[in-house]
Structure 1
């Protein structure tokens, strides 16, 4: 459902003000302590940020993809860890339920996810199954009216906070590849689930990941997403278009923040008797960053509109994810260069963003996976 223009404008201004006044001042603290303060989590809940993409009938805001992208542009203007906290509830943590869940499953979980009382987590990756999701080994054995889960998931975003896992497990060991994989909704307090120690990451401090271990974890058969076996991989693929567009929009927001900081620094910092911004080689880096971020913004908005219109945007979403995530890496690199020695010092925050944005080229499908998706779709369309 499309929001009235005035309502959308008010929402975007509210998010922008929240980012400027409450999140940006906490960036260094969150990075140092690897924790988002409880009062910020509560404020995010109050603003409805956990339910941006969840339909209104289940307590969310029900934003279109275009509207969600605009909110993501604003959330990208600060440390990615803040966005990551609400990201799974709006993306891969809820979309599987929205797209393929039964009405009972939607009623049971979506209102809590929309309010932020339940944090969703997408448990797909394993030690030997990431980009090759069809090779996962976690098993779900049917036993009467239950399934028994065994296996270990790795690098699971928001797992330490999760109340609900969308778990992907093999229900048919005789079926090779993705066709034997099913999706389950597993409540985090179910006996047989344990968490590994939080991962020590290169960046995005405050956004937590860890291993999730399932040992003879018994869940009711009603936990099978949509009530159908063998549909898990298809469900995972369905949620990716929205997730990739959301991440692409965040990349644009981060890039715009870095460009703004770099321009300000270049105008204030003097060398050889004049501001850095007067030197043409500095201008070239600023201009390249501006042009690339603008191109990514246009790609995201156009693809979001096409998705809202009901078009298949699998290729275009992969293009956005590939270009935007690579783009923000180049922008961050130039930002360090423009800041010179200051860009390498933690006090300025530029080196933190340089580390933070590196993850965008890996999760929700690596750059190389996007290239494969794009090329295979091109070949299929031409055949």
Structure 2
């Protein structure tokens, strides 16, 4: 039978989020109901609330989540009730032209649950279908997703930490390792040291980069980047970051520069801070109106590659278990990304802390006792 649970919605553009009752249907073919244990508060959720993604309100927010499969629909084979899973927003189809070419991380036909969760009786908009953030909607006690959005992993990792692989940490780590191809002895610069940038720093260090330069305007964030493996830091409010990166790399520029901000001015810095034949990776998400102009001769003359990283070019079935194994071995500090654990009622305050640069990640924990990480 359908269940009524509590969840966090953005009812209209710019309005403060609300905790309301939501109806979750039984899973249909290819679907799963997951009891959410923890979900990170990502900047993308704020974009949804502010109408920066689309205008399909009301939104059910939350997408960086881990939890336990409670029920599955007909035809589901890869996960079963009781499995501990991380949710992902790119459930690959296995049939599109990217999948057919053996590059499923570029799947062009990713899918979500067919059925919709709705506002419960008693709400002024009762029966209204909700738009789940990134097809997940995990600021909720239980959520309905496509079974392909569930990746089974070892439960040894705390849900608060493991869930962050569902978006920001995977995006940053993958930008360095998958998209940027960082390898032993490389020099790497990361511009923007929030959760995604710090994950890129950690990925570069783990891949064997010998010089890892963190760039930000906030000394607190730069200090945090050192904990994840940065060998040098540059406050770009005080120092020209392009010149600083060149100076730290023998006058050449970095082999790989990862732009984790998503702004024209920082992308330009990344472009000119790389070595000849180096790689720029854009993983920061720009807004629709942003544009950039570069001299075409410089694009040609500097060679190398200008790449965009979609979700860290990850394949969840491959990358999530691998990163959890690295965590279990003590080689990847997932716990370090969790600044605080909060309840559903504290999501709006978490957005304020995010704006103020006070946290790396606030994580909503949905059981009676908050996890200690």
Q: Same fold (TM over 0.5)?
A: no
More strand by share: 2
TM-score computed with the length of structure 2 as normaliser: 0.26
More helix by share: 1
TM-score computed with the length of structure 1 as normaliser: 0.25
